[in-house]
Amino acid sequence: MKRINVTVRADQYERISAQGLNASGLIRGLLDDHFSDTKIVFSVSEEVKGVYEQVISNFGGDDAEIEAFFLTAMDRYLEHKTAQIKDLRVAIDTKKPAASN
């Protein structure tokens, strides 16, 4: 282990203290997530985070179980984006000047 000094905002310090968290452990966990080859970290709204926490706390499950659902969601996202690209290409085609001979 290496000892380092870290500067945090006052509000961050207050939240860490209020929740009784170990700042070193929290930082190590965040660094592990950041440098992991198998973890994805993304932000969601407070509402979505609350739903996620409620589902996990009531029904269990782990990342491996959720992974299949995440892949399905990514597939649906790509279908949506593909449709948007198709619509955009149609719009561009209607604005192209007629080919001259």
State the Cα–Cα distance between residues 79 and 28, nearest whole angstrom.
37
Render pLDDT for 37-61 as a digit per residue (tens, 0 to 9).
999 888 999 999 999 889 888 988 7
State the Cα–Cα distance between residues 30 and 21, nearest whole angstrom.
13
pLDDT at residue 3 greater than cutoff 60: yes
pLDDT, position 62: 82
How would residue 101 be classed by pLDDT, with cut points 50, 70 and 90? low
Nearest to 66 by CA among 56, 80, 79: 56
Nearest to 39 by CA among 48, 49, 29: 29
pLDDT, position 56: 86
Phi and psi torsions of 61, nearest 5°: 95, 160
How would residue 100 be classed by pLDDT, with cut points 50, 70 and 90? low
For 16, residues 6+ apart whose C-beta sits below 8 A from its C-beta are: 8, 23, 26
Render pLDDT for 54-89 as a digit per residue (tens, 0 to 9).
988 898 878 888 899 999 999 999 999 999 999 999
State what percent of residues in the chain have pLDDT above 90. Answer: 66
